[in-house]
Amino acid sequence: MASDSLLPAALGMWQEDIAANLDAVNASELAAKEHLDGVAHEMHAYEFLLYAYRQDGDDAHAREIYEDTNPMIQHLAAIPGIQNDGMYMYTSYRQVEFTSIYHLERHEWKDVLAIAEPSHPVVSSGCFRLWAQAIAAGHLRDAGAADQAVASAQSIYKAVEAEGSPISAEIHATFLTMQAWQNYAHHLHAEALAHLSASADEQDRVGQAEVNIPAREMYADILLAEGQPC
């Protein structure tokens, strides 16, 4: 039902991305009124909108989506038969994702570490939360928090891989980025860059979760933080 806008997002065509996904939101809302399938795809459209607004520097609209996450999920939950919508099972994933991406893009590292796991999450919800927390811990040089995030993610790695969730195909690249920020938290800069380089190469081959921060962007973040912008 909803348009993913993969091409505009991949090319950084933020206004086109925003327009396409606003259309997708309208389509999902119409589906709800007409009692059609695909209503929960609204969450997918808002996923792209949140990321596009942040990339376009429109924090006001991004914040509206972030603040409306839980009300939107509660609204969807009240729709009869919504549990049969294939996208609805990832409600807890979107809940974690929206909050994490919003705070990560704003460099609000302590807010990322404070994100709680939602009730009844799919396995990938927990993994996404740990991914975000590893990044935040790395930026804060909080080695203990980074170690904990990586260890917890490692314990559910196979379960995520088997779940068929939004990050299943990219789980190895995702874990490499977590290890990179764990390295950085321990001041192991060369190791951090090596892990990010390996993750970026893998993302080139298999792709990445649609609106996650790319490994190459993280590589640049570390270079800038260490005064090595080129």
- Token digits for 79? 């729709």
Distance CA 85, CA 146 (A): 36
Q: Report the amino acid identity of residue 44.
A: H
pLDDT tens, N- to C-terminus, the chain (230 residues): 344 456 677 778 889 989 999 998 888 888 878 777 777 778 888 888 999 999 899 999 999 999 988 888 888 777 777 777 767 777 888 889 999 999 999 999 999 999 998 887 788 889 999 999 999 999 999 999 999 999 999 999 888 888 777 677 788 999 999 999 999 999 999 999 999 999 999 988 877 766 688 999 999 999 999 998 76
Q: Report the amino acid identity of residue 104.
A: L
**Domain range annotation of the chain:** 1-84, 113-230
- Token digits for 108? 């609000």
What residues contact 170, with CB distance under 8 A and at least 6 apart? 202, 203, 206, 207, 208, 209
Look at the alpha carbons of 204, 148, 105, 112 in this order and tell me if their dihedral is positive or negative: positive
- Token digits for 177? 């980025």
Q: Is 86 exposed, middle or buried (0-12, 13-18, 19+ CB in 10 A)?
A: exposed
Q: How many helices and strands, by DSSP H and E, does the chain display? A: 12, 0
Distance CA 136, CA 94 (A): 19
